[in-house]
Structure 1
């Protein structure tokens, strides 16, 4: 029982931080905040990508937090992992400093922790043959 409580605590802390991180970055991306705009164009991507990524992040946060919709949760976790790993790799390719790379690494870690420690009622049942 102690392990179950510990896992639930890890899940909710990681998930809360993940949701806050994704939601806050989504908002500045949707608003095309100057720093976000400069960052994405520095990486070679078009400015309109901020709108797409920001909108999908908000939908992903909703999917992860709302009960049910287990397959949608899996897609949201995968999307978070893909977009953040893409950001990290893009910053590495551009020889950016850890200041630019670090937040993406943190959000990847939170995505993995939240996914790994999610409770059984937030997992898709697997069948063993």
Structure 2
């Protein structure tokens, strides 16, 4: 029962983090483009990341299929990992904090998903819970 609560709370907080980020990308596009340029990324990533962040949340929360949900988890994992490392690479460790929090929420959500979802993920062993 605790795993179900952990899943929904961590998934809700992770979704909130990603949707807030997508909203910031949409409303403060120039600032985000400059921040990405400072990290060494091209400016054209802003609209792509905005759409992908929203679609990732939709795939995990609505879970049309377990495979698509797991793909969204993988995408978020790599995005958060690379985001945190990019901030650390330019010596801005405080800016990497949201990525670290996101990674913790992502791990909690992924590891407890089979306890809360009807269709289990084939990549998560239910015996681990």
TM-score between both structures, scaled by the size of structure 1? 0.85
Q: Where in structure 1 are there 5+ consecutive unaligned residues? A: none
Moved over 3 A (4+): 30-35
**Of 6, 13, 17, the match for 1:17:** 13
Per-residue CA deviation, residues 23-79 of structure 1 (Å, 9 max, x unaligned), is 110122234434322321110111111111111110000000104411000000000
Q: Is the 8 A contact 1:14 1:114 kept in 2?
A: yes
User: d(CA) in 2 for partners of 1:31 and 1:122?
Assistant: 36
User: d(CA) in 1 for partners of 2:42 and 2:122?
Assistant: 39
Pair 1:91–1:122, CA change in 2 (3 A): farther
Question: What is aligned with 2:112?
Answer: 117
**SS of 1:121's equivalent?**
coil
Q: Where in structure 2 are there 5+ consecutive unaligned residues? A: 124-129
Question: What is aligned with 1:106?
Answer: 101
* 1:41-80 to 2 correspondences below 5 Å: 41-80=37-76
